[in-house]
Amino acid sequence: MIKPKKNVALEKRLIKCTNVITLGVLPDFSNYLPDNRQLIFKAVKIYYPSVFYADIFDAMGKKIFPSCQTYRFVQDKIKQTALFNVLKISHPKTKIFYGNNQKKRITDYFKFPFIAKIPKGSALGRGVFLIKNQNELESYKKMTHAAYIQEYLESDRDIRVVIIGDSVAHAYWRIAKKGEFRSNIAQGGMVSLADVPDQALDLALYTAKKCGWNDVGIDIIKSKNRYYVIEANMKYGKEGFRKAGINYHKLMEKMIDNEEI
């Protein structure tokens, strides 16, 4: 018999947390066992309900973590950029070109080199390209209907700020390996625990609050004494936590017990 006093999660993010029961994500709700359905109905809050259930639970008045807004912008760079522009959040010059006719005009707006990304579903630095000439641009254009083009702010590092709840859980530098323009850890980037400037932390907190995101890794780059939000990652990695000696699951257990999330 499952103990009814434990917190309930669907996705596996908290599976190692001792104060959480993880039920898994079953798109056919009727496939949940009766006891598990009752756990979901009786729970004050559902943790990590998944993209599929976030809006459903929200519609029925069930509290969730992370927020619906957090789920709605997962791995969608086009929507994120539109939101940054509407909210006037500092963001590199970015423009989306749809279809072949619009793609022909990319170099009317951007000079080589510039950044091109696969706008949806890409993560860990995959689907991100430094475009240095027309041949590379033509190759990229064949990969996606919507071309996501961003100015290149040259730097060998950026800052990952992880916001959980309404506070900074962790922040660190990501330093690109030699010869690589991407600083993602999955692309060989190195974690540095050197002090992160307050301006970057403040920008990340401001961005998360304005966007309604409460579980997110926000990537920030500094260029010519100005800080820019590059993008938001709702499925951020844990390597920075490990390097800092932070037990992510113990941290989450404590935040849940203290009702911080």
DSSP letters for 153-164: ---SEEEEEEEE
Q: What count of other Cβ atoms lies within 10 Å of the Cβ of residue 203?
A: 21
Identify whether residues 203 and 146 lie together within a single domain. no
Q: Which residues of 109-130 are buried (b: 16+ CB within 10 A; e: fewer)?
A: ebeebbbbbbbeeebebebbbe
44 in the same domain as 104: no
How much is the pTM?
0.93
Question: Cβ of 27: how many Cβ atoms within 10 Å?
Answer: 8
Residue 73 lies in a domain: no
Give the span between the Cα atoms of 139 and 148, in whole angstroms.
14
Angle, vertex CA 186, rays to CA 181 and CA 190, nearest 5? 70
202 shares its domain with 245:
yes
Q: Within this chain, do residues 131 and 172 fall inside the same structural domain, yes or no?
A: no
Domain that holds residue 147: 93-151
What pLDDT score does 4 carry? 42
**87 in a structural domain:** no
Residue 45, CA distances (Å) to 1, 32, 42, 49, 88 in order: 20, 18, 9, 10, 32
Using CA of residue 44, residue 48, residue 50, residue 55, what is the dihedral sign? positive
- Same domain assignment for residues 97 and 164: no
The reply to whether 79 falls in a domain is no
- 233 by DSSP, 3-state: which? strand
Q: Are residues 237 and 200 in the same domain?
A: yes
| Rounded Cα–Cα distance for residues 70 and 217 (Å) | 11
The residue to which tokens 């916001």 are assigned? 163
Residue 245 region by backbone torsions, left for phi larger than 0, else alpha for psi between -120 and 50, else beta: left
**111 and 191 housed in the same domain:** no
| Measured distance CA(75)–CA(82) in Å, rounded | 13
Each residue's pLDDT tens digit in the chain (261 positions)? 444 458 999 999 999 999 999 999 999 999 999 999 999 999 999 999 999 999 999 999 999 999 999 999 999 999 999 999 999 999 999 999 999 999 999 999 999 999 999 998 766 657 899 999 999 999 999 999 999 999 999 999 999 999 999 999 999 999 998 877 888 777 778 899 999 999 999 999 999 999 999 999 999 999 999 999 999 999 999 999 999 999 999 999 999 999 999
**Residues 220, 138 share a domain:** no
How many domains would you assign to the chain? 3
Q: Judging by DSSP bridges, how do beta strands 45-47 and 63-65 pair with one another?
A: parallel
Same domain, 171 and 133: no
- Whether the CB-CB separation of 217 and 233 falls below 8 Å is answered with yes
Instruction: Judge if 195 and 248 occupy the same domain.
Output: yes
CB atoms within 10 A of CB 253: 18
Same domain for 166 and 244?
Answer: yes
CATH number at residue 229: 3.30.470.20
Considering the domain architecture, whether residues 130 and 163 belong to the same structural domain is answered as no
Flag whether 167 is in a domain.
yes
